[in-house]
Chain A
Amino acid sequence: MTFGMAIYSAAGSLTYSSTDVTWNQVDMLYVPRGGDVWKDYPVLNGKEVLTAQMMIEPPPIDRKAIAHAITVSGTVVHIAGGSENTYVLILMR
Protein backbone atom coordinates (compact mmCIF):
# COMPACT_ATOMS: atom_id res chain seq x y z
CA MET A 1 0.00 0.00 0.00
CA THR A 2 1.10 3.56 -0.57
CA PHE A 3 -0.19 5.01 2.68
CA GLY A 4 -1.30 3.79 6.08
CA MET A 5 0.22 1.40 8.56
CA ALA A 6 1.53 -2.12 8.05
CA ILE A 7 3.05 -4.28 10.76
CA TYR A 8 5.02 -7.37 9.83
CA SER A 9 6.08 -10.38 11.82
CA ALA A 10 9.70 -11.35 12.27
CA ALA A 11 9.20 -13.80 9.41
CA GLY A 12 8.12 -10.98 7.13
CA SER A 13 4.44 -11.80 6.88
CA LEU A 14 1.88 -9.06 7.28
CA THR A 15 0.39 -9.15 10.80
CA TYR A 16 -1.81 -6.12 10.86
CA SER A 17 -2.49 -3.15 8.67
CA SER A 18 -4.73 -0.16 8.20
CA THR A 19 -6.78 -2.11 5.69
CA ASP A 20 -7.90 -4.42 8.51
CA VAL A 21 -10.99 -4.12 10.68
CA THR A 22 -11.30 -5.01 14.34
CA TRP A 23 -13.25 -4.42 17.49
CA ASN A 24 -11.29 -3.09 20.46
CA GLN A 25 -12.09 -4.23 23.95
CA VAL A 26 -13.04 -1.34 26.19
CA ASP A 27 -14.01 -3.52 29.12
CA MET A 28 -14.98 -6.99 30.18
CA LEU A 29 -17.33 -6.64 33.13
CA TYR A 30 -18.54 -9.23 35.56
CA VAL A 31 -22.19 -8.47 36.30
CA PRO A 32 -23.82 -10.65 38.95
CA ARG A 33 -27.41 -11.81 38.88
CA GLY A 34 -29.60 -8.92 39.86
CA GLY A 35 -26.75 -6.48 39.33
CA ASP A 36 -27.30 -2.91 38.16
CA VAL A 37 -24.17 -1.35 36.67
CA TRP A 38 -23.67 2.15 35.25
CA LYS A 39 -20.30 2.95 33.81
CA ASP A 40 -19.01 5.89 31.82
CA TYR A 41 -16.39 5.27 29.14
CA PRO A 42 -15.27 8.60 27.62
CA VAL A 43 -13.35 6.67 24.96
CA LEU A 44 -16.68 5.64 23.42
CA ASN A 45 -17.37 9.21 22.40
CA GLY A 46 -18.10 9.25 18.67
CA LYS A 47 -17.29 5.58 18.24
CA GLU A 48 -19.28 2.58 17.06
CA VAL A 49 -20.08 0.42 20.09
CA LEU A 50 -20.87 -3.28 20.31
CA THR A 51 -21.79 -5.22 23.42
CA ALA A 52 -22.18 -8.91 24.07
CA GLN A 53 -22.88 -11.00 27.12
CA MET A 54 -21.76 -14.48 28.01
CA MET A 55 -23.46 -16.36 30.80
CA ILE A 56 -21.10 -17.92 33.29
CA GLU A 57 -23.28 -20.93 33.97
CA PRO A 58 -25.48 -22.35 31.23
CA PRO A 59 -29.13 -21.40 31.59
CA PRO A 60 -30.89 -23.93 33.79
CA ILE A 61 -34.11 -25.63 32.71
CA ASP A 62 -35.96 -25.35 36.00
CA ARG A 63 -36.24 -21.56 36.12
CA LYS A 64 -36.06 -18.54 33.86
CA ALA A 65 -32.55 -17.38 32.95
CA ILE A 66 -33.14 -13.79 31.95
CA ALA A 67 -30.32 -12.03 30.14
CA HIS A 68 -29.22 -8.58 31.26
CA ALA A 69 -30.56 -5.60 29.35
CA ILE A 70 -27.62 -3.57 28.02
CA THR A 71 -28.11 -0.01 26.84
CA VAL A 72 -25.52 2.41 25.54
CA SER A 73 -26.34 6.10 25.77
CA GLY A 74 -23.52 8.31 24.57
CA THR A 75 -20.54 7.13 26.57
CA VAL A 76 -22.54 5.53 29.37
CA VAL A 77 -23.22 1.80 29.46
CA HIS A 78 -26.05 0.52 31.65
CA ILE A 79 -26.43 -3.16 32.44
CA ALA A 80 -29.28 -4.50 34.56
CA GLY A 81 -32.21 -6.84 34.85
CA GLY A 82 -30.52 -10.18 34.39
CA SER A 83 -31.06 -13.18 36.57
CA GLU A 84 -27.70 -14.84 35.86
CA ASN A 85 -24.06 -14.10 36.58
CA THR A 86 -22.69 -12.80 33.31
CA TYR A 87 -19.62 -11.41 31.59
CA VAL A 88 -20.40 -8.35 29.50
CA LEU A 89 -18.00 -7.51 26.71
CA ILE A 90 -17.86 -3.88 25.57
CA LEU A 91 -16.22 -3.26 22.21
CA MET A 92 -15.69 -0.17 20.09
CA ARG A 93 -14.10 0.84 16.83
Chain B
Amino acid sequence: MTTWGFEATNNAGQVLVSSETRNLHFVGKAGLNRIIKQFNGYGGLRHYAFWIDCEVTPVPFFTMPTDDYYGVVAVKEISVYANRKTWEIEVIRSGTSATVPEIYVFADPRGVTARNTDYGMLVLRDDGTPSFDSRLGPLVVTGGINVAPPSNPLTVAPPTLSAKYCGSGQGAADNMGANNRNTYQFAVPGAKPIFFYPSIAQAEREFSFHEWEDECDGFDYGVCIGVSRAYDWYSYYWAFYRGGIRYVGGYLYAGWIAAEFGCNWTYRKKSALIGIGIGGSSGTGGQWPYSNETLNLTPTAVITANGLRYD
Protein backbone atom coordinates (compact mmCIF):
# COMPACT_ATOMS: atom_id res chain seq x y z
CA MET B 1 0.00 0.00 0.00
CA THR B 2 1.02 3.56 -0.53
CA THR B 3 1.79 5.75 2.48
CA TRP B 4 -1.62 7.36 2.50
CA GLY B 5 -5.18 6.10 2.32
CA PHE B 6 -7.08 3.32 4.00
CA GLU B 7 -6.75 -0.42 3.94
CA ALA B 8 -8.50 -3.01 6.07
CA THR B 9 -7.74 -6.71 5.89
CA ASN B 10 -9.61 -9.68 7.25
CA ASN B 11 -8.34 -12.33 9.61
CA ALA B 12 -6.67 -14.13 6.71
CA GLY B 13 -4.79 -11.03 5.64
CA GLN B 14 -6.94 -10.56 2.55
CA VAL B 15 -7.96 -7.03 1.59
CA LEU B 16 -11.46 -6.08 2.70
CA VAL B 17 -11.41 -2.37 1.93
CA SER B 18 -8.75 -0.41 0.11
CA SER B 19 -8.77 3.18 -0.99
CA GLU B 20 -6.86 2.06 -4.07
CA THR B 21 -9.60 -0.27 -5.34
CA ARG B 22 -13.38 -0.32 -5.28
CA ASN B 23 -15.54 -2.78 -3.41
CA LEU B 24 -18.51 -4.25 -5.20
CA HIS B 25 -21.82 -3.08 -3.74
CA PHE B 26 -25.38 -4.24 -4.16
CA VAL B 27 -27.15 -2.25 -6.85
CA GLY B 28 -30.44 -4.16 -6.76
CA LYS B 29 -32.19 -7.03 -8.43
CA ALA B 30 -32.51 -6.92 -12.19
CA GLY B 31 -36.05 -7.27 -13.46
CA LEU B 32 -37.10 -9.82 -16.04
CA ASN B 33 -37.76 -7.97 -19.28
CA ARG B 34 -38.56 -10.91 -21.56
CA ILE B 35 -37.75 -14.48 -22.49
CA ILE B 36 -35.57 -14.24 -25.58
CA LYS B 37 -35.84 -17.87 -26.57
CA GLN B 38 -37.11 -21.13 -25.16
CA PHE B 39 -37.55 -24.73 -26.18
CA ASN B 40 -38.18 -27.99 -24.34
CA GLY B 41 -36.14 -30.50 -26.38
CA TYR B 42 -32.35 -30.90 -26.19
CA GLY B 43 -32.50 -30.71 -22.40
CA GLY B 44 -34.55 -27.52 -22.50
CA LEU B 45 -33.62 -23.86 -22.72
CA ARG B 46 -34.84 -20.67 -21.13
CA HIS B 47 -32.95 -17.62 -22.34
CA TYR B 48 -33.86 -14.59 -20.25
CA ALA B 49 -33.19 -10.88 -20.60
CA PHE B 50 -33.05 -8.91 -17.36
CA TRP B 51 -32.75 -5.14 -17.14
CA ILE B 52 -31.30 -2.91 -14.48
CA ASP B 53 -30.18 0.71 -14.23
CA CYS B 54 -26.57 1.17 -13.17
CA GLU B 55 -24.05 3.93 -13.80
CA VAL B 56 -21.13 1.51 -14.26
CA THR B 57 -20.70 -2.00 -15.66
CA PRO B 58 -22.68 -4.41 -13.46
CA VAL B 59 -21.51 -7.74 -12.08
CA PRO B 60 -24.50 -10.11 -12.02
CA PHE B 61 -25.07 -13.01 -9.64
CA PHE B 62 -27.96 -15.45 -10.04
CA THR B 63 -29.89 -17.85 -7.86
CA MET B 64 -30.41 -21.43 -8.98
CA PRO B 65 -33.98 -22.18 -7.96
CA THR B 66 -34.08 -25.45 -9.94
CA ASP B 67 -31.62 -28.31 -10.39
CA ASP B 68 -30.75 -27.11 -13.90
CA TYR B 69 -27.64 -25.49 -15.41
CA TYR B 70 -27.29 -21.70 -15.45
CA GLY B 71 -24.94 -19.13 -16.90
CA VAL B 72 -24.68 -15.44 -17.82
CA VAL B 73 -24.10 -15.19 -21.57
CA ALA B 74 -24.09 -11.44 -22.13
CA VAL B 75 -23.94 -8.11 -20.33
CA LYS B 76 -24.50 -5.03 -22.44
CA GLU B 77 -25.51 -1.43 -22.07
CA ILE B 78 -28.71 -0.67 -23.90
CA SER B 79 -29.56 2.77 -22.46
CA VAL B 80 -33.14 2.90 -23.59
CA TYR B 81 -33.88 5.92 -21.39
CA ALA B 82 -32.32 9.37 -21.41
CA ASN B 83 -30.22 10.45 -18.42
CA ARG B 84 -29.59 6.97 -17.09
CA LYS B 85 -27.70 3.85 -18.04
CA THR B 86 -29.69 0.69 -18.47
CA TRP B 87 -28.07 -2.74 -18.82
CA GLU B 88 -29.38 -5.94 -20.27
CA ILE B 89 -28.14 -9.12 -18.62
CA GLU B 90 -28.79 -12.32 -20.56
CA VAL B 91 -29.03 -15.52 -18.56
CA ILE B 92 -29.58 -19.02 -19.90
CA ARG B 93 -30.92 -22.01 -18.04
CA SER B 94 -31.45 -25.62 -19.08
CA GLY B 95 -34.66 -27.48 -18.25
CA THR B 96 -38.30 -26.68 -18.79
CA SER B 97 -39.40 -25.20 -15.47
CA ALA B 98 -41.25 -21.89 -15.46
CA THR B 99 -39.31 -20.79 -12.38
CA VAL B 100 -37.21 -17.71 -13.10
CA PRO B 101 -33.90 -17.09 -11.31
CA GLU B 102 -33.30 -13.92 -9.34
CA ILE B 103 -30.50 -11.69 -10.55
CA TYR B 104 -28.55 -9.83 -7.89
CA VAL B 105 -26.49 -7.06 -9.40
CA PHE B 106 -23.33 -5.65 -7.85
CA ALA B 107 -21.11 -2.85 -9.06
CA ASP B 108 -18.51 -0.48 -7.77
CA PRO B 109 -20.07 2.22 -5.57
CA ARG B 110 -20.23 4.76 -8.36
CA GLY B 111 -22.97 2.58 -9.82
CA VAL B 112 -25.26 3.02 -6.85
CA THR B 113 -26.90 6.34 -6.13
CA ALA B 114 -29.52 5.52 -3.52
CA ARG B 115 -28.06 5.94 -0.05
CA ASN B 116 -30.79 5.66 2.55
CA THR B 117 -28.94 6.99 5.58
CA ASP B 118 -26.09 9.21 6.67
CA TYR B 119 -24.88 6.52 9.04
CA GLY B 120 -21.99 4.25 8.06
CA MET B 121 -18.45 4.26 6.76
CA LEU B 122 -17.36 5.82 3.51
CA VAL B 123 -13.89 5.41 1.98
CA LEU B 124 -12.88 7.64 -0.91
CA ARG B 125 -10.14 7.26 -3.47
CA ASP B 126 -7.62 9.99 -4.08
CA ASP B 127 -9.84 11.40 -6.83
CA GLY B 128 -12.73 11.81 -4.43
CA THR B 129 -14.85 9.00 -5.87
CA PRO B 130 -16.13 6.30 -3.54
CA SER B 131 -14.17 3.14 -2.91
CA PHE B 132 -16.33 1.65 -0.19
CA ASP B 133 -19.66 2.64 1.30
CA SER B 134 -21.13 0.54 4.06
CA ARG B 135 -24.59 1.96 3.35
CA LEU B 136 -24.72 0.27 -0.05
CA GLY B 137 -24.49 -3.40 0.84
CA PRO B 138 -20.86 -4.24 0.16
CA LEU B 139 -20.36 -7.67 -1.37
CA VAL B 140 -19.38 -10.39 1.06
CA VAL B 141 -18.09 -13.47 -0.74
CA THR B 142 -18.87 -16.93 0.61
CA GLY B 143 -16.74 -18.96 -1.77
CA GLY B 144 -15.03 -19.29 -5.10
CA ILE B 145 -13.82 -21.96 -7.46
CA ASN B 146 -12.57 -22.28 -11.02
CA VAL B 147 -14.55 -24.67 -13.19
CA ALA B 148 -14.68 -25.86 -16.77
CA PRO B 149 -17.11 -28.16 -18.53
CA PRO B 150 -15.86 -31.33 -20.22
CA SER B 151 -14.90 -30.98 -23.85
CA ASN B 152 -17.80 -33.00 -25.22
CA PRO B 153 -21.35 -32.17 -24.11
CA LEU B 154 -22.53 -35.65 -25.07
CA THR B 155 -21.34 -38.96 -23.66
CA VAL B 156 -23.18 -40.99 -26.30
CA ALA B 157 -24.18 -40.26 -29.85
CA PRO B 158 -27.89 -40.26 -30.68
CA PRO B 159 -29.38 -43.41 -32.23
CA THR B 160 -29.88 -43.62 -35.97
CA LEU B 161 -31.98 -40.73 -37.18
CA SER B 162 -33.68 -40.25 -40.49
CA ALA B 163 -31.40 -39.08 -43.27
CA LYS B 164 -34.35 -37.88 -45.34
CA TYR B 165 -35.01 -34.16 -45.09
CA CYS B 166 -34.11 -33.96 -41.37
CA GLY B 167 -37.15 -36.04 -40.65
CA SER B 168 -36.20 -37.01 -37.08
CA GLY B 169 -36.43 -33.64 -35.38
CA GLN B 170 -38.06 -35.12 -32.32
CA GLY B 171 -35.52 -37.92 -32.17
CA ALA B 172 -32.72 -35.37 -32.15
CA ALA B 173 -34.50 -33.28 -29.50
CA ASP B 174 -34.89 -36.36 -27.30
CA ASN B 175 -31.30 -37.57 -27.65
CA MET B 176 -29.03 -34.56 -28.03
CA GLY B 177 -29.56 -32.89 -24.67
CA ALA B 178 -26.18 -32.38 -22.97
CA ASN B 179 -25.41 -35.13 -20.47
CA ASN B 180 -21.72 -34.68 -19.75
CA ARG B 181 -20.29 -32.63 -16.89
CA ASN B 182 -17.39 -32.13 -14.53
CA THR B 183 -18.09 -32.45 -10.82
CA TYR B 184 -16.61 -30.30 -8.05
CA GLN B 185 -17.12 -30.83 -4.35
CA PHE B 186 -18.06 -27.31 -3.32
CA ALA B 187 -20.31 -26.46 -0.42
CA VAL B 188 -21.74 -22.94 -0.50
CA PRO B 189 -22.62 -21.54 2.92
CA GLY B 190 -25.59 -19.26 3.45
CA ALA B 191 -29.32 -19.76 3.23
CA LYS B 192 -29.65 -18.38 -0.30
CA PRO B 193 -26.57 -19.01 -2.44
CA ILE B 194 -26.07 -16.73 -5.40
CA PHE B 195 -23.49 -17.34 -8.13
CA PHE B 196 -21.41 -15.25 -10.48
CA TYR B 197 -20.59 -17.34 -13.54
CA PRO B 198 -20.10 -15.90 -17.01
CA SER B 199 -20.73 -18.56 -19.64
CA ILE B 200 -17.79 -18.48 -22.03
CA ALA B 201 -17.39 -22.08 -23.19
CA GLN B 202 -19.24 -23.16 -26.28
CA ALA B 203 -19.52 -26.35 -28.25
CA GLU B 204 -21.26 -27.57 -31.34
CA ARG B 205 -21.91 -31.22 -32.07
CA GLU B 206 -23.32 -32.67 -35.27
CA PHE B 207 -24.27 -36.13 -36.42
CA SER B 208 -24.69 -37.10 -40.04
CA PHE B 209 -26.88 -39.84 -41.44
CA HIS B 210 -26.98 -41.23 -44.96
CA GLU B 211 -29.61 -43.28 -46.77
CA TRP B 212 -29.76 -44.36 -50.39
CA GLU B 213 -32.14 -46.15 -52.74
CA ASP B 214 -31.78 -47.54 -56.26
CA GLU B 215 -34.78 -47.97 -58.53
CA CYS B 216 -34.85 -49.84 -61.80
CA ASP B 217 -37.61 -49.71 -64.44
CA GLY B 218 -36.66 -52.78 -66.43
CA PHE B 219 -34.62 -55.84 -65.56
CA ASP B 220 -32.17 -55.72 -62.71
CA TYR B 221 -29.32 -58.17 -63.26
CA GLY B 222 -27.05 -56.40 -60.81
CA VAL B 223 -26.89 -53.78 -63.50
CA CYS B 224 -30.17 -52.17 -64.46
CA ILE B 225 -31.26 -52.91 -68.01
CA GLY B 226 -33.64 -50.01 -68.48
CA VAL B 227 -34.06 -46.70 -66.72
CA SER B 228 -32.52 -46.49 -63.25
CA ARG B 229 -32.58 -43.86 -60.56
CA ALA B 230 -30.16 -43.61 -57.62
CA TYR B 231 -31.17 -41.52 -54.62
CA ASP B 232 -28.94 -40.24 -51.82
CA TRP B 233 -30.10 -38.40 -48.75
CA TYR B 234 -27.91 -36.81 -46.09
CA SER B 235 -29.06 -35.12 -42.90
CA TYR B 236 -26.76 -33.33 -40.45
CA TYR B 237 -28.40 -32.88 -37.06
CA TRP B 238 -26.61 -30.40 -34.84
CA ALA B 239 -26.90 -28.66 -31.51
CA PHE B 240 -25.02 -25.68 -30.11
CA TYR B 241 -24.19 -25.64 -26.42
CA ARG B 242 -22.96 -23.06 -23.94
CA GLY B 243 -21.31 -23.66 -20.61
CA GLY B 244 -23.43 -23.71 -17.47
CA ILE B 245 -23.17 -24.57 -13.80
CA ARG B 246 -25.49 -26.50 -11.53
CA TYR B 247 -25.40 -26.63 -7.74
CA VAL B 248 -26.98 -29.53 -5.87
CA GLY B 249 -26.21 -30.86 -2.43
CA GLY B 250 -22.71 -29.60 -1.92
CA TYR B 251 -21.56 -30.32 -5.45
CA LEU B 252 -21.05 -27.89 -8.28
CA TYR B 253 -21.37 -29.31 -11.76
CA ALA B 254 -19.88 -27.65 -14.83
CA GLY B 255 -21.79 -28.80 -17.88
CA TRP B 256 -23.61 -27.61 -20.95
CA ILE B 257 -26.86 -25.94 -21.94
CA ALA B 258 -28.24 -26.43 -25.44
CA ALA B 259 -28.71 -22.92 -26.76
CA GLU B 260 -29.59 -23.61 -30.38
CA PHE B 261 -30.24 -26.55 -32.67
CA GLY B 262 -30.90 -27.26 -36.30
CA CYS B 263 -30.47 -29.66 -39.16
CA ASN B 264 -29.20 -29.44 -42.72
CA TRP B 265 -30.20 -31.90 -45.42
CA THR B 266 -29.13 -32.64 -48.96
CA TYR B 267 -30.81 -34.75 -51.60
CA ARG B 268 -29.40 -36.03 -54.86
CA LYS B 269 -30.96 -38.08 -57.65
CA LYS B 270 -29.06 -39.53 -60.58
CA SER B 271 -30.89 -41.09 -63.48
CA ALA B 272 -29.41 -43.46 -66.07
CA LEU B 273 -30.45 -45.47 -69.08
CA ILE B 274 -28.61 -48.78 -69.33
CA GLY B 275 -25.90 -47.32 -67.13
CA ILE B 276 -25.54 -44.10 -69.13
CA GLY B 277 -26.32 -40.96 -67.15
CA ILE B 278 -29.29 -39.00 -68.41
CA GLY B 279 -29.48 -36.31 -65.74
CA GLY B 280 -30.51 -35.83 -62.18
CA SER B 281 -31.54 -33.36 -59.58
CA SER B 282 -30.49 -32.24 -56.14
CA GLY B 283 -31.57 -30.00 -53.32
CA THR B 284 -30.58 -28.81 -49.88
CA GLY B 285 -32.28 -27.12 -46.97
CA GLY B 286 -32.09 -26.29 -43.33
CA GLN B 287 -29.60 -24.36 -41.24
CA TRP B 288 -25.90 -25.18 -41.10
CA PRO B 289 -23.75 -24.47 -38.01
CA TYR B 290 -20.19 -23.16 -38.16
CA SER B 291 -18.20 -26.25 -37.13
CA ASN B 292 -18.07 -29.32 -34.96
CA GLU B 293 -15.83 -28.25 -32.08
CA THR B 294 -15.50 -26.93 -28.54
CA LEU B 295 -14.11 -23.49 -27.63
CA ASN B 296 -13.07 -21.54 -24.55
CA LEU B 297 -12.51 -24.35 -22.09
CA THR B 298 -10.19 -22.25 -19.94
CA PRO B 299 -11.42 -22.56 -16.34
CA THR B 300 -13.88 -19.85 -15.38
CA ALA B 301 -14.24 -18.31 -11.94
CA VAL B 302 -17.39 -18.97 -9.98
CA ILE B 303 -17.91 -16.57 -7.07
CA THR B 304 -20.63 -17.14 -4.52
CA ALA B 305 -22.40 -14.99 -1.94
CA ASN B 306 -25.48 -15.20 0.25
CA GLY B 307 -28.42 -13.49 -1.43
CA LEU B 308 -30.36 -13.34 1.81
CA ARG B 309 -27.96 -10.69 3.02
CA TYR B 310 -29.24 -8.34 0.30
CA ASP B 311 -32.98 -9.16 0.37
Q: How far is the CA of A26 from the CA of B18 in the complex (A)?
A: 10
Interface 1/0 per residue, A52-65 and B, CB below 8 Å: 11111111011111
- The answer to whether B90 has its CB under 8 Å from any CB of chain A is yes
Give the contact stretch, choosing among B95-103, B158-166, B277-285, B293-301. B293-301
If the complex has contacts A21-B141, A24-B21, A43-B21, are A16 and B16 also in contact, measured as CB distance less than 8 A?
yes
Which of chain B's residues have a CB closer than 8 A to the CB of A47? 15
- The answer to whether A37 has its CB under 8 Å from any CB of chain B is no
Q: Report the tally of A-B residue pairs with Cβ distances under 8 A.
A: 140
Are A58 and B23 in touch, CB under 8 angstroms? Answer: no
Are B74 and A25 in touch, CB under 8 angstroms? Answer: no
B10 to chain A, nearest CB (A): 5
- The answer to whether B4 has its CB under 8 Å from any CB of chain A is no
B150 to chain A, nearest CB (A): 17
- The answer to whether A73 has its CB under 8 Å from any CB of chain B is no
Are B74 and A54 in touch, CB under 8 angstroms? Answer: yes
Are B14 and A93 in touch, CB under 8 angstroms? Answer: yes
Are A28 and B56 in touch, CB under 8 angstroms? Answer: yes
Interface residues of B in 121-153 (CB under 8 A from A): 121, 134-135, 137-142, 144
- The A interface, classified by DSSP as helix, strand, loop or mixed, is loop
Are A23 and B24 in touch, CB under 8 angstroms? Answer: yes
Are B10 and A20 in touch, CB under 8 angstroms? Answer: yes
Q: Can you give 28 A-B contacts (C-beta < 8 A)?
A: A4-B11, A9-B134, A10-B117, A16-B140, A18-B8, A18-B10, A20-B10, A20-B141, A21-B16, A21-B140, A22-B14, A22-B140, A24-B24, A25-B21, A25-B22, A25-B24, A43-B20, A50-B144, A50-B301, A55-B75, A59-B242, A61-B259, A61-B289, A65-B296, A67-B295, A69-B298, A92-B21, A93-B15
Residues of B within 8 A of A (CB): 8-12, 14-18, 20-24, 56-57, 59, 72-76, 90, 108, 117, 119-121, 134-135, 137-142, 144, 196, 198, 200, 202, 204, 240, 242, 259-260, 289-291, 295-296, 298, 300-301, 303
Residues of A within 8 A of B (CB): 4-5, 7, 9-10, 15-16, 18-26, 28, 30, 43, 47-48, 50-59, 61-67, 69, 87, 89, 92-93
